[in-house]
Amino acid sequence: MSTKNINIAIVGLGFGAEFIPIYQKHPNASMYAICQRSPEKLKEIGDAFGIEKRYTDYQKLLNDPEVHAVHINTPPQNHAEQAIAALRAGKHVACTVPMATSVEDCRRIVEAVNETGLTYMMMETVVYSREFLFIRELYEKGELGKIQFLRGSHQQEMAGWPGYWEGMPPMHYATHCVSPVLALPRADAEYVSCFGSGRISDNLIPKYGSPFAIETCHIKLRDSDLSAEVTRSLFNTARQYRESFDVYGSEKSFEWTLVEHEDSVIHSGESPEKVKIPDYAHLLPEEIRSFTTGGVYDGEDNTHLSFIQGSGHGGSHPHLVHEFVRAVVEGRSPYPNAKQSANITCVGILAHESAMDQGEKKHLPDFTFSA
């Protein structure tokens, strides 16, 4: 393995702080700088993790020639502008989900990657969770047989989250359920049709103009006989937090557990069998393997809500870091790269447009296709 190191700057220190110790221990990364608008938060995190290089101004961070790559963990509405600015400044980009909040901004990021030749990776947790890695292993061994259908769901109550989440259309934050149904067959979505259902509280509707409590989308995969279905809810729907992924094959099928901490199920023919999902730390450098099960990075009373609600995001964080760092070091494309990230993200954006148009079919733009 190459011993080359890249200097990482983390932007946004809420959820972003969860990644600091992973970069600090990764053999090909140097946790070089952090960026946060709040001086108090910047000092708190910088002192806690011993990071000397600190910025309250994002542009000043981008002007630092020692920064090789940025990992963006800011609110969704900032992702596109910050990613494009970083690429234009010559920095590789890892960005938390979603890639952007409009199809046009996804296009702009893809164009910036094409023009600069730099690395972009959307840091989608589900496709590096131990559950997905387990299913992928079954598929690659041929145990599932031919994939016949895929289903994903992400149900979450976001009351009490920062105000910009209030009333957000469910499919605008759909990458956690869209990504696995595209990642397993390594396919692109070709078109979508989506319906909204139910109604959220009247006080939540005006910000985005979206009334739906739940949105359910069918996805046609490009150059494939497969389709997939994804369901998403954010407010006013009673359900324990669940990010799930089911796959139905000709030989075996996998269904995600209905209740957190219970076992998932594999069906062989008509015979179901509960299954314990193994950890996949062995796929990682030894220095960061403990982070697949560590669970808490910055204190039991100070862990980010997304990490708690998502059950540690399936141990995905060190896998994400490793994929991004190695892609940069090796000069290869990560998964998901810019086009794949755009395809995943635009599924949700166009799905909501479809729901507002009574299920009208919406085609994914050509710039989101891998080939």
Which residue, among 362, 306, 366, has the nearest Cα to 171 in the 3D structure? 362
Residue owning tokens 């324990």: 240
Indicate the burial class of 54 (C-beta count within 10 angstroms; 0-12, 13-18, 19 or more).
middle
pLDDT at 74: 96
Please list, in sequence order, all residues whose beta carbon lies within 8 angstroms of the beta carbon of residue 365, skipping any fewer than 6 positions away.
103, 107, 346
- Fold observed for domain 126-283+345-368: Dihydrodipicolinate Reductase; domain 2 (3.30.360)
User: CA 255 to CA 264: how far, in whole Å?
Assistant: 6
User: CA 263 to CA 55: how far, in whole Å?
Assistant: 44
Residue 271: how many other CB atoms lie within 10 Å = 7
Instruction: Compute the radius of gyration of the chain from its Cα atoms.
Output: 20
Q: pTM above 0.85?
A: yes
Domain residue extents for the chain: 6-124+321-333, 126-283+345-368
pLDDT at 295: 45
Residue pLDDT tens, the chain, 371 long: 456 799 999 999 999 999 999 999 999 999 999 999 999 999 999 999 999 999 999 999 999 999 999 999 999 999 999 999 999 999 999 999 999 999 999 999 999 999 999 999 999 999 999 999 999 999 999 999 999 999 999 999 999 888 999 999 999 999 999 999 999 999 999 999 999 999 999 999 999 999 999 999 999 999 999 999 999 999 999 999 999 999 999 999 999 999 988 999 999 989 999 999 999 999 999 999 999 986 444 454 555 444 444 446 889 999 999 999 999 999 999 999 999 999 999 999 999 999 999 999 999 999 999 97
User: CA 59 to CA 91: how far, in whole Å?
Assistant: 12
**CATH number of 6-124+321-333: 3.40.50.720, 3.40.50.300, 2.40.30.10, 2.40.110.10?**
3.40.50.720
Indicate the burial class of 258 (C-beta count within 10 angstroms; 0-12, 13-18, 19 or more).
exposed
pLDDT at 55: 98
User: CA 340 to CA 237: how far, in whole Å?
Assistant: 30
pLDDT at 313: 81
pLDDT at 3: 61
Mapped onto helix, strand or coil, the DSSP state of residue 1 is coil
